[in-house]
Chain A
Amino acid sequence: MDRILIVIPVYNEEKNIRRVILDIQKNFNSADIIAVNDMSTDNTVKELDAMGINHLDLPFNMGYAGALQAGLKYATRNGYNFVVQFDGDGQHLAKEIGKLYKQITTNKSDIVIGSRFKINTDYPHPLFRKIGSWIFSLLIRLTCRKKITDPTSGFQILSRRVFTEYSEMFNYPQFPDANLIIKMLLHEYKIEEIPVEMRKREHGESMHTGLIAPMKYMIKIFYSILIIILTFKFNNPKGEGGSDV
């Protein structure tokens, strides 16, 4: 029996977390849950304690990636076989975890991404998000010859090989999106995508709001991709590697 850990990075999610946990307990109860509290200033921890949910408490705010990496380290240390990255804001649906798990075990993949774009869902896409995803998709296709429709999706299942690598990674990216997918594809990890349904967040703000923050985000991701590709080319000058479609 595979041991699955659902990692939920949370920051000030007192209004969402209860619903998220109940959803998981109802629709995918064969996995363990670890919430990573990224120094929330509201009642998130109280909610977690009240529900008896196992959680890590970071001593200072580290952002999404820092919290996620803490959960991955926990998974590595406690011998889990798979990790599901799950958002604490209610965007991801627990009934879709089963699909990700089935896909990763039957195809022996390393990463399975839940995509909002593979089929038309009623998930509302802001224009900027759409353009961003399209550009990153194109970049992945150009560099790795692989079609990934939703590179910014945080809803993923990772094999032990992958999350062990992530947890030991120096400079784990601040935004683990298209850049990390390109890195893993270049190193010949098997990445797949399946269509999933997602919900719009009900309370709180996304980390990509406003005008300046998304611009900074785009620049950082582009730069990160550039570094990844240059590092790879430098280490493999003959141009080996790259995954096939």
Chain B
Amino acid sequence: MYRIFFAFFGIAAILYIFIKVKKNKFSESRSIFWVLGGIAIFFLSIFPKTIDKISAVLGINHPPSLLFLLASIFIIYSIFKLEEEITITKEQLKDLAHKNAILENKLIKQSNNEKNK
């Protein structure tokens, strides 16, 4: 029963991301990562034995801990990517604000000059 629930959850997640991308509320390039996450959930809920097999190969005694490890890596990586985007966006925003202030200053000076003519 729980397998069907999680398979459904995986599909729902993929659909949700797809709708967001379609409505231009989520960038296509960033959505790939999340769709892959959804596919992973779907795949693992249908074939839960995969985790056991991978754990056996890696020598992990308690297979669910592999699941937690993978989930942690996924989350940490996505937070790191976010921080990276924020840094770049902040720097670009600062540059734009600077340029805006300089242009505004130029515009005010020009209009003052015209008034004085």
Contact = CB atoms under 8 A, between A and B. Distances in A.
B94 A74 contact: no
A59 interface: yes
B102 A59 contact: no
Contact of A60 (B97, B99, B102, B105): B97
A229 interface: no
A58 interface: yes
Contacts of A55: 105
Contacts, number: 36
Nearest to B93: A60
Report, as a range, how many residues of chain B touch the other chain: 10 to 19
A228 B104 CA distance: 35
B98 interface: yes
Tell me whether chain B's interface is mostly helix, strand or loop, or mixed. helix
A196 B18 CA distance: 64
Interface residues of A, number: 17
Given A54-B105, A74-B105, A59 B100 contact: yes
A73 interface: yes
Given A66-B94, A171-B91, A73 B99 contact: yes
Interface of A: 36, 54-60, 62, 66, 69-70, 73-74, 77, 170-171
Interface of B: 91, 94, 97-102, 104-105, 109
